Structure 1
Amino acid sequence: MANECIPFYEPGRRITGHATAGVTGCRFVMISGNRQADGSISVAHATAATKAFGVAAYDAATGEKVGVLRGSGFIVPVTAGANLTANQRVEVGSNGQAVVLASGIAVGTVVTGATSGNPAQIALD
């Protein structure tokens, strides 16, 4: 079954990304290169402790287009890379997963927690 990220609340923006590597829905992505000729933004899973560009809306293979959900106000499911509880601040962990903020850059706040490997509801910064 493919992962699909459907926002719980949506005042933010949706943009089209171009996957420069395989992307899994409900994970943080970062800008991975220059804008494509068609205007889409090159994205791949965000690396640990970096600033995320947004969250992949669904799975995409290398070279495919992918929806990216970004902006303050979005509350979306993000795959937890560790156990998360409500009101914890999160950063990007490995493979674009959400982990408890330690030494990285805050990217959101947990609204509803989850165990590792499951979707947590994250309010994006």
Structure 2
Amino acid sequence: MANECIPFFEPGRRLNGHATAAVIGKRFVAISGNRQSDGTISVAPAAAASKAFAVAVQDAAIGEKPGLLRGPGFIVPVTAGAAIAAGAQVEVGTAGQAITLASGIAVGVAITAATSGTDAQIALY
């Protein structure tokens, strides 16, 4: 068939990354370059107030392959960079941590409250 659209990933929520900078598990990451020749997605820590691509499953040094979780339907632990109340929308804070939405882009909502340095349960958008 001509012009057939075949998805690269389905359902596209559990993916494999390629760390182009050191990544810390349970933190937001962003796309940092083209896909690698092995099909993994190049990622690095997401910048504060940016639109995150996913949450890293585990720590990964440069060149390692962290698992990535993304999209609606996932409720995942994300390290809080400040106090977050249950029900608050969150954005990316420093070093890919979750903080209460202020002037950035909403990336999820907190299912549980958290204090700085602890894990918040975040329902991803």
Mapping 1:38-57, distance limit 5 Å? 38-57=38-57
Count of aligned positions: 115
| Partners of 1:37 and 1:12 in 2: CA distance | 18
Instruction: Give 1:12 deviation, angstroms.
Output: 7.2
Distance 1:14 1:67 in 2: 7
CA distance in 1, matches of 2:55, 2:122: 10
Per-residue deviation, 1:85 = 1.1
Aligned pair 1:115/2:108, yes or no?
A: no
Map of 2:96 onto structure 1? 96
SS of alignment partner, residue 43 of structure 1? strand
Deviation of residue 113 (structure 1)? 1.3
Runs (4 or more) in structure 1 with deviation over 6 Å come to: none
CA 1:117–1:59 in 2, change beyond 3 Å: closer, same or farther? same
CA distance in structure 2 between the aligned counterparts of 1:50 and 1:91, rounded to whole angstroms:
8
User: Would the aligned equivalents of 1:12 and 1:73 in 2 still touch at CA under 8 Å?
Assistant: no
1:49–1:92 Cα contact (<8 Å) kept: yes
Q: TM-score, normalised by structure 1?
A: 0.90
Q: Is the 8 A contact 1:90 1:107 kept in 2?
A: yes
In terms of fraction of residues, the more strand-rich structure is 1
**In the aligned structure 2, how far is the partner of 1:22 from the partner of 1:43?**
9
Quick check: 1:16–1:41 contact (8 Å CA) kept in 2?
Answer: yes
Radius of gyration: which is bigger?
2
Question: Unaligned regions of 5+ residues in structure 1, if any?
Answer: 1-10
Q: How big is the shift at 1:73?
A: 1.0
Q: TM-score, normalised by structure 2?
A: 0.90
CA distance in structure 1 between the partners assigned to 2:17 and 2:82 by the alignment: 27
- Structure-2 residue corresponding to 1:124: 124
Aligned-residue RMSD, C-alpha:
1.1
Distance 1:48 1:32 in 2: 14
Equivalent residues of 1:77, 1:120 under 8 A apart: yes
Percent of aligned pairs with the same amino acid:
70
SS of alignment partner, residue 112 of structure 1: coil
Equivalent residue for 1:17?
A: 17
Cα distance per residue 1:11-52 (max 9 Å; x no partner): 972000000011010000000011111111000110000000
Cα–Cα, structure 1 residues 57 and 17, in superposed 2: closer, same or farther, change >3 Å?
same
- Mapped partners of 1:12, 1:58: distance in 2: 18
